Amino acid sequence: MIIKNLTVRFGAFTAVDDVTLEIPDGAIVGLVGESGSGKSTLARAVSGLVPYSGAVEGVDRRGVQMVFQDPLTSLDPRMTVGASVAEGLRLPRAARQAEVERLLSLVSLPVSLAGRYSRELSGGQRQRVAIARALGARPTLLVADEITSALDVSVQGAVLNLIRALREEFGLTMLFISHNLAVVRYVSDVVAVMHRGRLVETGPAERVVAAPAHDYTRSLLEAVPRLGRGRPAPEVTS
C-alpha cells in the first residue's frame, strides 16, 4: 500500500505536509520523529481518525487498525478483556469465544484473562489485549503509535518481540511509530524520518542508521543515548 501526498491541516497549522510513503506488503515501516513532527497525526490520518487531503491507496478503511500509546485509555474500562477483543469480530456468537481465545494466545496471554477488566492487568498485558483486538479485524495494515513508550523497559522487549513475531509468522504489514530510534531500527525493515510535518528521509533500516543522508537524521542519531559512552569520575580536588 502507499500513502500519497497526504496533508493534514488544523486551521492555519500544517501538521503533516505532503507526505508520500510506501508500505510494502509484509514489511514493517518504522516512522521516527520528535514531538510535534506530525508522526502521530499521520498515523491517525492513515487510520481515518483525522481528515486529510491526499490518498491512502491499496487498503480499505476496515483494513487499517491502530494500537494506541496508552493501553489503559484505549480499552473501555467497563468492558472485559474478552468483550474488548470480540468487538471487531464478524462471527456468529458460537464461534466468537473460540476466536477470542485464539487471539489471546496469539499475543501470548492466558485465556483466563478474558473475564478480567483492563484495570486488573499490567501495562504490558493491556497492550497485548489492544493488539489482539486489532488483529481480530484481520487488518491489512496495523498502525502502532508509540505502543511501548508507556511501558517499562523489561516489558518493552516482550512487546517488540511479539510485533516481530507477528510479521514473521503472519506477514503482517505495519506502520510502527516511535520517538525512539533504537526501537524503530530494531523492529523495522524500512525507516522513515519525520521532521516538522515533512518526511525528510526514507530507506532500509540499516542504511538509514549507518549512512544517514539528511542532516536531521544525523542529529537524531547522535542524540540517541548509548550505554557505553559514560566515563568514570574524574579526579576532583575539592
Partner 1 sequence: MTGSPRPPAPRAPGRALGRVRGGFVLRRVVRFAVSLAVLLVASFAMIHLIPGDPVRASLGPAAPVELVAARREALGLDEPILSQLLSYMRGVFRGDFGTSFLSGEPVGEIIASRLPNTLGLALLATVVALLVAVPLGMWAAIRTENGRNRGTEAAFTSATGTAVAVPEFLYSIALVAVFAIGLGWFPPAGQAGPVSYVLPILSLAISPTAMIARISRAETLRELGTDYVRLARAKRLPAPRLYFRHVLPNTLTATLTVGGLLLSALIAGSVLVEYVFAWPGLGLRIVESITQKDYPVAQGVILVYGAIVLVVNLLVDLLLGVLDPTSELKET
Partner 2 sequence: MRRLLRTPAGLAGTVLVTAMVVLAVAGPPIWGAEAERIDSASILQGATAAHPLGTDNLGRDILARVLVAGRLSLTLALLATLVGATAGVLLGALPSVLPRRGARLVTGSVNALVAFPGLLLAMFTAVIAGLGARGAVIGIGTAVAPGFARLTQTLAASVAGADYVSAARMLGVSRWRVMTRHVLPNIAEPLILNFTQALGGALLALAGMSFLGLGVQPPSFDWGRLLFDGFGRIYATPAVALGPAAAIALAGIGFNLLGDALAHAAARRTAPPGTDAEPGAPRPVALGEPDPDAVLEVRDLTVAFPGGVTPVRGLSLTIAPGEIVGLVGESGSGKSLTAAAIGGLVPYPGEVRAGRLRLCGADVRELPEAERRRLLGTSLAMVFQNPMAALNPALKVGGQLAEVAVVHQGASRAEAAARAVDRLDHVRVPEPATRARQHPHELSGGMRQRAVIAMGLMGAPRLIVADEPTTALDVTVQREILRLLREVTAETGAATLFISHDIAVVGELCHRVVVMYAGRVVEELPVGELASGAAHPYTRALVASLPDMETDRSLPLASIPGRQPPPAEVPDGCAFAARCELATARCAAERPPLIPYGTARRVACWEV
Nearest one of 30, 51, 15, 22 to 198, comparing CA atoms: 15
- By CB under 8 A, the residues from 173 to 192 that bind partner 2 are 179-183, 185-186
What's the min distance (Å) between Cβ of 129 and partner 2?
11
52 binds partner 1 (CB under 8 A): yes
| 8 grid coordinates | 493534514
In three-state secondary structure terms, 77 is: coil
Size of the site for partner 2 (CB under 8 A): 70
| 203 grid coordinates | 530507506
Candidates 25, 57, 152, 215; binder of partner 2 (CB under 8 A) is 152
Gap between the Cα atoms of 132 and 129, Å rounded: 5
Nearest one of 62, 17, 18, 16 to 43, comparing CA atoms: 16
Cα dist from 144 to 42, 44, 90, whole Å:
12, 10, 23
Residue span 25-54 as binding mask against partner 2, x where in contact by CB under 8 A, dash where not: ---------xx--------x--xxx-----
CB closer to partner 2 out of 106 and 160: 160
CB closer to partner 1 out of 9 and 164: 9
CB closer to partner 1 out of 14 and 80: 14
73 binds partner 2 (CB under 8 A): yes
Candidates 18, 97, 209, 214; binder of partner 2 (CB under 8 A) is 209
Nearest one of 47, 42, 48 to 5, comparing CA atoms: 42
CB closer to partner 2 out of 82 and 124: 124
Gap between the Cα atoms of 36 and 39, Å rounded: 8
Contact residues for partner 1, defined by CB under 8 A: 10-13, 15, 36, 45, 48-52, 54-56, 59-61
